[in-house]
Amino acid sequence: MDSPTTIHVPILLAPITEALTLPLLERAEPAWILDCTFGGGGHTKALLDRLPKHHGVVGIDQDEVALLRGKKRLSDDFASGRLKLLQTRFGDLDPETLAPHLDGKPVYGILADLGFSSDQLEDPERGISFMRDGPLDMRLNREDGLSAYEFLKSASEKEIADIIYEFGEEHHSRRVARFVCEARSKGELPSRTAAFAALVERAIPGGGKGSRIHAATRTFQALRIHVNGELRELDNLLGSVIMNLEVGGRLAVISFHSLEDRRVKQKFKSEDSLSELTKKPIEADESEMASNPRSRSAKLRIATRLR
């Protein structure tokens, strides 16, 4: 069951809060910051705490439970109208679809934390992590699209191999796909995370021994990215969603693997209307990594809108 409270610890909180609120500290006219990945609400709370009272945050998430939790946690800001909560894919927020929710106020900040919240990772019913046994689902919005198990049950061996290779950068993707399809043909395709992780481990030569990560890590990453359309969402964010941002406003993106960071880096360098403020990505310091191990792979890039 989903907890009514959050266990998620927001990553790189100080540099994000400082960067996104700076353009608004002296602005007299009301404006919004979009938190495109509301999650546990930690970044949103920090932004609201630092912003002058006439500014606000629009929190966006596919996960209805996260939004209900946030509404309860930040009830005063929600009641006052400083916080709005929208259940949708952040990649769908082009200017036309977002406009009705902004009350005519401009957007001066956009945040996208591309990682999953601890609330989601620790919930076994979501099946995102093999560290907690649960149904092989992986969807952020469990009412939308196919689960990971449903995809594996119907996809061809080539489709499975291609997705594991492209989204997980798993060099043994063909072997993993073969093991999956052999299990499926025998009616033995695992429908739970622990059993599926064990299947992948058997498929990886040597069970991945000697590697710094579990043998199933890349395959789970690939299936999660595919099921949730994560890279498509990121591409939409870097394409149409940033058009919501006013000149002088800022975009901050936290990525957690090379596929994401490469896209963000290339966009910031190639887009004439953006100027990157972080020539190298900001990473967690030793203190943050010690207290929050999930921050170890986080890379934060920030850009400002020029025109």
Helix (H) or strand (E) segment spanning residue 18: helix 13-21
- In a domain? residue 49: yes
72 with 18, same domain? Answer: yes
pLDDT of residue 91: 83
Domain closes at, from 184, 206, 228: 228
Q: Which among 129, 133, 90 is positioned nearest to 110, based on CA atoms?
A: 90
**Alpha carbon distance 151, 172 (integer Å):** 19
235 with 110, same domain? Answer: yes
pLDDT of residue 139: 85
Helix (H) or strand (E) segment spanning residue 27: none
215 with 176, same domain? Answer: yes
pLDDT tens, the chain, 307 aa long: 344 555 667 899 999 999 999 999 999 999 999 999 998 899 999 999 999 999 999 999 988 888 998 999 999 999 999 999 999 888 888 888 888 999 999 999 999 998 765 555 556 666 567 777 899 998 877 777 899 999 999 999 999 999 999 999 999 999 999 999 999 999 999 999 999 999 999 999 876 666 777 899 899 989 999 998 888 888 988 888 888 899 999 999 999 888 899 999 999 998 888 999 998 999 988 998 888 888 888 999 999 999 7
User: For 53, what's the count of Cα atoms within 13 Å in the CB-facing half-sphere?
Assistant: 2
CB-CB contact of 243 with 93 (8 Å): no
Total domain count, the chain: 2
CB-CB contact of 73 with 48 (8 Å): no
Q: Where are the beta strands (DSSP E) in 168-260?
A: 245-255
pLDDT of residue 62: 84
Measure Cα distances from 154 to 80, 113, 150, 218 in Å. 48, 31, 6, 21
200 with 156, same domain? Answer: yes
Residue 171 belongs to a domain with what CATH number? Answer: 1.10.150.170
Residue 303 CB neighbour total at 10 angstroms? 26
- In a domain? residue 156: yes
Q: Which among 70, 80, 95 is positioned nearest to 30, based on CA atoms?
A: 80
The amino acid at 262: R
pLDDT of residue 297: 84
Per DSSP, what are the bridge partners of residue 60?
86
Domain coverage including residue 171: 141-228
25 with 95, same domain? Answer: yes
pLDDT of residue 6: 54
241 with 115, same domain? Answer: yes
